[in-house]
Amino acid sequence: MCSSIASFVVATIFATLMLRESNAQLSATFYANTCPNVSSIVNNVVQNALQSDSRIGASLIRLHFHDCFVNGCDASILLDNSANIQSEKDAAPNTNSIRGFDVVDNIKTALENSCQGVVSCADLLALAAESSVSLSGGPSWSVLLGRRDSLTANQGGANTSIPSPFEGLTNITSKFSAVGLDTNDLVALSGAHTFGRAQCRTFSNRLYNFSGTGNPDPTLSSSYLTTLQQTCPQNGSGTALANLDLTTPDNFDNSYFTNLQNNQGLLQSDQELFSTSGAATVSIVNNFSSNQSAFFQSFAQSMINMGNISPLTGSNGEIRSDCKKVNGS
Ligand code: HEM
Ligand SMILES: *[C@@H]1O[C@H](CO)[C@@H](O)[C@H](O)[C@H]1NC(C)=O
Ligand SMILES: *[C@@H]1O[C@H](CO)[C@@H](O)[C@H](O)[C@H]1NC(C)=O
Ligand SMILES: *[C@@H]1O[C@H](CO)[C@@H](O)[C@H](O)[C@H]1NC(C)=O
Ligand SMILES: *[C@@H]1O[C@H](CO)[C@@H](O)[C@H](O)[C@H]1NC(C)=O
Ligand SMILES: *[C@@H]1O[C@H](CO)[C@@H](O)[C@H](O)[C@H]1NC(C)=O
Ligand SMILES: *[C@@H]1O[C@H](CO)[C@@H](O)[C@H](O)[C@H]1NC(C)=O
Ligand SMILES: *[C@@H]1O[C@H](CO)[C@@H](O)[C@H](O)[C@H]1NC(C)=O
């Protein structure tokens, strides 16, 4: 008994050290000799994509988030179904929802044309996320690099590890904590809902009969409720889209937090950050709402924290030549 506890403790310490060591291997200058222009190559493709699709930046950062929460930031989300792969693209949080794979392929082609076999798909997602934010008016940061790509996917993990908009703040906090992210990270990263869209099916439970009460969610402002009921009729298909940020839908700014203070958060999980009385998240929302630079500074740091989740480094994994499949398959 004692010795099994002792060996658990030793194994935990060892695992923690390993995690730190692999984080420590990520570096802003990882491609300085092998692909010095990696950031501008990615940035150029994202910039072009934004000209024809104002939503694409939001879609790209979400890909990085849904990658990192499942087996770490290892591009597992990009693998298609095959004999050995049950794709994460078919997991509940991703199916008929996650997008941007064509732009990822365009970025990969541009990288292969300049630096063949060098830049991982996992790093591509981290760089595309940064470009998406900075090109939309948000902060810039120095992206840490050196991740490698997985040989496997984890569809079951994607079903259970990615937060759902219907679970409460306590459960979502646990899911962040499970990947080493704290309450400040949760609030800052939720600020990514300052751009992009959500389908009616992800929030319509709030509009008519919330939790079986027969009434809408009381934390939804009445004017916003009227607007959303028009976008999402009671028996509609659920696939109509609403802006996550009603005030500045495509800009990366701190208006998301002001929306929460005005009971204009779109998802239940958004509004709970502000409306859960006594929660530690409330004062962080107030800070970010009143001080955009505090939000930007926290957001950049929390993106780095999220990007550090269990990367494959060294000789683990591989550099995929096609982000959709394992090399040689
Ligand atoms: C805190 C828990 C979170 C929950 C419950 C959540 C949930 C959702 C849901 C339900 C959607 C709409 C999907 C659809 O209708 O197809 C969405 C969209 C989005 N999420 Fe989150 N999210 C969370 C955190 C994050 C984080 C950490 C990021 C990035 C750092 C992020 C970035 C986005 C973006 C940018 C969109 C819009 C995507 C697009 O327009 O294609 N979310 N999220
Ligand atoms: C890097 O990109 C810059 C600007 O896009 C370009 O002028 C330069 O030639 C590129 N350098 C290399 C080594 O490709
Ligand atoms: C994940 O969820 C999807 C959609 O609900 C389901 O079809 C799939 O079987 C689940 N996969 C695993 C491995 O649990
Ligand atoms: C929250 O997590 C608990 C324990 O995992 C689970 O039983 C419960 O269903 C979750 N609640 C929601 C709303 O998802
Ligand atoms: C709301 O949902 C509850 C539980 O599902 C149901 O019993 C009730 O009849 C519904 N109320 C209305 C007004 O639809
Ligand atoms: C929606 O569908 C339900 C059940 O089919 C029906 O009772 C209700 O009247 C419909 N509501 C609207 C607004 O069409
Ligand atoms: C806003 O936040 C920044 C960054 O954390 C801080 O330096 C500045 O003092 C804050 N401004 C105010 C008015 O509190
Ligand atoms: C607001 O957030 C910034 C950045 O995280 C932090 O430095 C500052 O202490 C916070 N201010 C308050 C009043 O919580």
DSSP at 148: B
Distance set, CA 157 to CA 95, 163, 316 (Å): 14, 11, 20
- Closest-lying ligand 7 atom to the alpha carbon of residue 291: 1
Whether 40 lines ligand 2, by a CB cut-off of 6 Å, is yes
- How many angstroms separate the alpha carbon of residue 193 from the centre of ligand 7? 22
Whether 114 has a binding-site annotation, put simply, is no
Residue 61, Cβ density class (10 Å: 0-12 exposed, 13-18 middle, ≥19 buried): buried
DSSP at 206: G
Domains of the chain by range and CATH?
A: 26-162 (1.10.520.10), 169-302 (1.10.420.10)
Question: CB under 6 Å to ligand 3: residues?
Answer: 86, 91-92, 155-156, 159
- How many angstroms separate the alpha carbon of residue 214 from the centre of ligand 6? 14
Give the pLDDT score at 1: 35
Whether 16 has a binding-site annotation, put simply, is no
Spatial contact of 203 and 241, defined as CB atoms under 8 Å apart: no
Q: How far apart are CA 223 and CA 112, in angstroms?
A: 50
**For residue 152, which of 63, 90, 62, 70 has the smallest C-alpha distance?**
70
Whether 120 has a binding-site annotation, put simply, is no
Give the pLDDT score at 161: 98
- Take atom 11 of ligand 2 and give the residue whose Cα is closest: 37
Look up residue 306 and give its two tokens: 């999220």
pLDDT by 10s per residue, the chain, length 329 = 344 444 444 444 344 444 444 445 899 999 999 999 999 999 999 999 999 999 999 999 999 999 999 999 999 999 999 999 999 999 999 999 999 999 999 999 999 999 999 999 999 999 999 999 999 999 999 999 999 999 999 999 999 999 999 999 999 999 999 999 999 999 999 999 999 999 999 999 999 999 999 999 999 999 999 999 999 999 999 999 999 999 999 999 999 999 999 999 999 999 999 999 999 999 999 999 999 999 999 999 999 999 999 999 999 999 999 999 999 99
- Name the amino acid, one letter, at 290: S
Q: How far apart are CA 135 and CA 130, in angstroms?
A: 8
Q: Which ligand is nearest to the CA of 40?
A: 2
DSSP at 88: G
Active-site residue numbers? 66
Q: How far apart are CA 129 and CA 62, in angstroms?
A: 8
- How many angstroms separate the alpha carbon of residue 35 from the centre of ligand 1? 31
- Closest-lying ligand 2 atom to the alpha carbon of residue 37: 1
pTM above 0.85, yes or no: yes
Residue 132 neighbours by CB under 8 Å, 6+ apart: 46, 56, 57, 58, 60, 61
Whether 64 has a binding-site annotation, put simply, is no
**For residue 121, which of 138, 136, 106, 139 has the smallest C-alpha distance?**
106
Give the pLDDT score at 25: 83
